[in-house]
Structure 1
Amino acid sequence: MLLEIKRDREEKFGWRGIFRVEDFFAYERDLPNFLDNLQASGCRMLAFGIEHGNDVKRRKMKAGPSASNAKFQELFARLRSIGIHSKAYFILGGQKETTETAEETIRFAIDSGVSLAYFALYKEFVPALRTLQRAQIDGSNIHSSYSHYDQLKINWDTIMDTADGNVDDHALSAFIGRIDPNRDQIDPKALLTCYDQLAQIGFRFADLVKYSDHHSTESPASSILNKVNFSNQDAYEAKVAAAYVRFYMRPEFIATYRSLLASGY
């Protein structure tokens, strides 16, 4: 069907899709010329739920249990070679997640060769669901905060715009100190140079970081939040900010972003 539409509309038709990892590899195994047909039908981007940068943790999440980091890197490279961009969904936080294991996810996202990365905030639905079910039975109001979420608010674009190339800007320095406390991963000058070049062609963090909600900080839901955010909400939010800044503020991404815009992103 898509191939027929593409033939009728020639170069005017393009589409983006999302796959479960295991489904994609199964289609590729069982359907002849699957990847070539995707490209011929006008596919411009494919998204996948990768979840974590650690193979063992990913398998525990049941996200592509048979796939490895190397296999994802190879897939993204093959897609790139035929002009199809890729997007990966990762999760930061969770039971037994630490800043160190979250760092594995960030590093893999950067090294994977994926075009776009989205870092979702972990939400623990099972305890909340049990509490809601219990409240329906005993009529208590303990569930009230479980049905509400707080939104991660970002001001990263404002910080970059206000700095306006000044690496000594106070707000910029405070922001970098928060997301890179050891000052060994983010160079202020390189950050501002990269952001300026991307902003000139329409890039804004606010366009990427959407729907980043997390469990309410109010009791009793805060007890769930503390189990999935390193028990430190500020450190958690700083790690999320670091993930986005380090992934997107790279010279390599400038070329990728231009290519994305050219393909209708």
Structure 2
Amino acid sequence: MPDIGGMVRRAKQGAKQVIGKGDKNDKDSVDPVDPVEAVEPVEPETPEVEDIAEVVTEESAEDAASVADVAEIAEEVGRLRALIERTRPDPGPVTGRWSLGIGDLFAEHPKVPKRLRGLVRKLDRYGGLAITEETVEFDGDDVEWSSVTEIRTRNLVEYLLSDAVDQQLESVPLPWFPGRKRVLDAVGKAVLTLLIAAAKEQLERRDVDIRIPAEVHYRGTLRRRRELAPGVLAALVLADPAVNQCLVATAAAHGIEVREADDDLMADAEERAAKVRAKLAALEAKLGKFRPNGN
């Protein structure tokens, strides 16, 4: 026969172990427990539905607060246009240094605290253009004119079709300040809005042919052929005629040939139109999906 007494003793011992998980200093605080009931697992407590809803609501509110509205985007578009017009280089080859980048854009922003403006001016390597008598620089990468072999211009729409513009502003490590995410969102959408507007103008007006110096070919280490290309903000800045002419004139002053690239994607008008519509639709979709990273 089974040892009933032994089974009972083991069951009681297990019950004591379960009970012992409570307050060890209060031996009288636990009522006697039936051995069978004592070994049943205790389900962990779960948060109430109301608690979960409260957390989700708070997160949704925080996310919504970081999204710029139409008025804020329009304001940034105007600010960016004014900045480009105000800082246009003089005609002809550059003298000294000319530059326009993300650092300038944020340093002049009214919502960026004055104490941070000196720091944010150093952010041009995350987007922008610089032309000097010695070098040309896209998004923080510079090349000496003496190493440049040629520059090829690309039709702005064709350049967009090639997916070359892939650097976006959400990666900019802008220091924290109240409303930082909302400012990043508004500025990023403003850049895309202006880029789309320039492309649409070219499509709607057959007499407009916006070509930007989009391929800077140069000799790298071990004389390997390399290429420097502008990101989204630099491409937008190069679409300005004065900036475009300055870069081309500076290159010519250094004896560098500037010629049109083969716009293969523009050869078939019907295929081009379909690709242009798809690309512009994708860019416009980014205006709704754009979200700045970081806190």
Scaled to the shorter chain, the TM-score interval is under 0.3
TM normalised by structure 2 equals 0.23
Q: TM-score, normalised by structure 1?
A: 0.24
